């Protein structure tokens, strides 16, 4: 028996009870995927694009791209749900094969897009900024947008090669999506995602420290900045989410199979929407029957005259950088 067959047998034995549990909550997992990634996030992205065209909000491409990757993530995980095939024969086999290949690419894709987003936030808060990025803004945006899809294509190609060589490794994983029971993939994908999350946690700590410093300066000068406070809260939420996802990655890597990683896996698109879709400008757009209210604090900030410390702090941010108050 070769190592892959041994790995498959061990994984099958360990996952018997888990499979039964996941099947029981299968409808819930599918609902989370669809509501978050195929209803809520497309609504949010569409709203942001419309408002951006009307110059009503600032939506950085890294943020839009981050949400789009989660939409792709959700659709790929639901391919066999829409196909409604309980077996993997005929056309169902083709859909299952395609899904089995792509699911190993969407996880690195979303992890990379998350790292790119937080890196852009961190770059926007640095004093000196990146000279090359400032001079080559379009190239920087293209690289940020393309990086997640490069990871997606690379892992998908690797998975496709595995399926061509070993079609017997294609399995229907826990009732609602297909995957490839290939040992290196079960290690490489979570390790890559975990590495991206560790990088983002470090960057988030730097962003959090910098943002708190800015908040302290504003508070000392009686200048409350609610968008900045909102950003700090979102960073904290993302940090907690990243730690949870990291634990799920470790569980997958160590084959500590239980319902928890699968629940996190299905809930991520909805959580992404809940974190980003709570923006006030987007909320007022959806509440089209109500007239937007002016924030008194915003008017006060416009009339207040900051001292030299605040001016120096704000002017130190690089030009054309994404200062993430709009997140």
Q: Which ranges constitute the DSSP H helices of the chain?
A: 3-24, 26-34, 41-53, 61-77, 79-83, 90-125, 131-135, 137-165, 183-220, 226-253, 259-276, 280-286, 296-303, 308-315
| pLDDT for the residue 72 | 96
Burial bucket for residue 178 (CB in 10 Å: 0-12, 13-18, 19+): buried
Q: What is the distance between the alpha carbons of residues 205 and 211, in angstroms, rounded to a whole number?
A: 10
Question: Which tokens is 282 given?
Answer: 């987007």
Cα four-point dihedral sign 81, 85, 86, 90: negative
| pLDDT for the residue 242 | 76
Tens-digit pLDDT profile for residues 55-94: 566 677 888 999 999 999 999 999 888 876 555 445 457 8
Q: What is the distance between the alpha carbons of residues 46 and 100, in angstroms, rounded to a whole number?
A: 29
| pLDDT for the residue 277 | 77
Domain ranges of the chain: 3-182+259-283
Q: What is the distance between the alpha carbons of residues 247 and 273, in angstroms, rounded to a whole number?
A: 21
Q: 6, 13 in Cβ contact below 8 A?
A: no
- The pLDDT confidence band at residue 299, using thresholds 50, 70 and 90, is very low
Q: What is the distance between the alpha carbons of residues 254 and 247, in angstroms, rounded to a whole number?
A: 11
Phi, psi of 59 (to 5 degrees): -120, 105
Which residues are paired to 266 by β-bridges?
none
Q: What is the distance between the alpha carbons of residues 89 and 200, in angstroms, rounded to a whole number?
A: 41
Tens-digit pLDDT profile for residues 171-228: 875 567 888 888 888 889 888 988 998 898 898 888 888 777 777 776 666 555 555 5
């Amino acid at each position: 028996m070769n190592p892959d067959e041994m790995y498959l047998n061990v994984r099958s034995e360990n996952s018997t009870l888990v499979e039964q549990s996941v099947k029981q909550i299968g409808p819930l997992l599918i609902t989370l995927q669809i509501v978050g990634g195929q209803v809520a996030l497309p609504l949010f992205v569409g709203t942001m694009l419309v408002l951006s065209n009307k110059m009503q909000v600032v939506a950085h491409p890294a943020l839009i791209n981050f949400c789009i990757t989660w939409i792709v993530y959700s659709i790929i995980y639901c391919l066999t749900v829409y196909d409604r095939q309980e077996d993997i024969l005929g056309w169902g086999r083709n859909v299952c094969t395609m899904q089995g290949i792509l699911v190993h690419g969407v996880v690195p894709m979303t992890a990379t897009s998350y790292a790119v987003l937080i890196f852009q936030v961190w770059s926007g808060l640095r004093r000196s900024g990146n000279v090359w990025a400032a001079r080559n803004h379009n190239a920087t945006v293209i690289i940020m947008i393309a990086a997640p899809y490069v990871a997606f294509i690379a892992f998908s190609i690797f998975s496709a090669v595995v399926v061509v060589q070993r079609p017997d490794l294609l399995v229907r994983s826990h009732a609602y999506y297909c995957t490839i029971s290939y040992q290196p993939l079960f290690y490489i994908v979570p390790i890559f995602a975990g590495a991206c999350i560790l990088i983002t946690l470090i960057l988030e700590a730097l962003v959090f420290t910098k943002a708190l410093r800015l908040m302290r300066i504003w508070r000392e000068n009686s200048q409350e900045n609610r968008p900045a406070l909102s950003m700090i809260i979102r960073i904290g939420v993302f940090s907690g989410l990243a730690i949870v996802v990291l634990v799920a990655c470790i569980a997958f890597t160590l084959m500590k199979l239980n319902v928890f990683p699968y629940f996190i896996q299905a809930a991520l698109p909805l959580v992404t929407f809940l974190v980003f879709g709570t923006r006030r400008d987007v909320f007022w757009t959806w509440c089209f029957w109500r007239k937007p209210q002016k924030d008194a604090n915003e008017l006060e900030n416009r009339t207040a005259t900051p001292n030299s410390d605040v001016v120096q702090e704000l002017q130190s941010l690089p030009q054309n950088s994404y200062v993430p108050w709009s997140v």
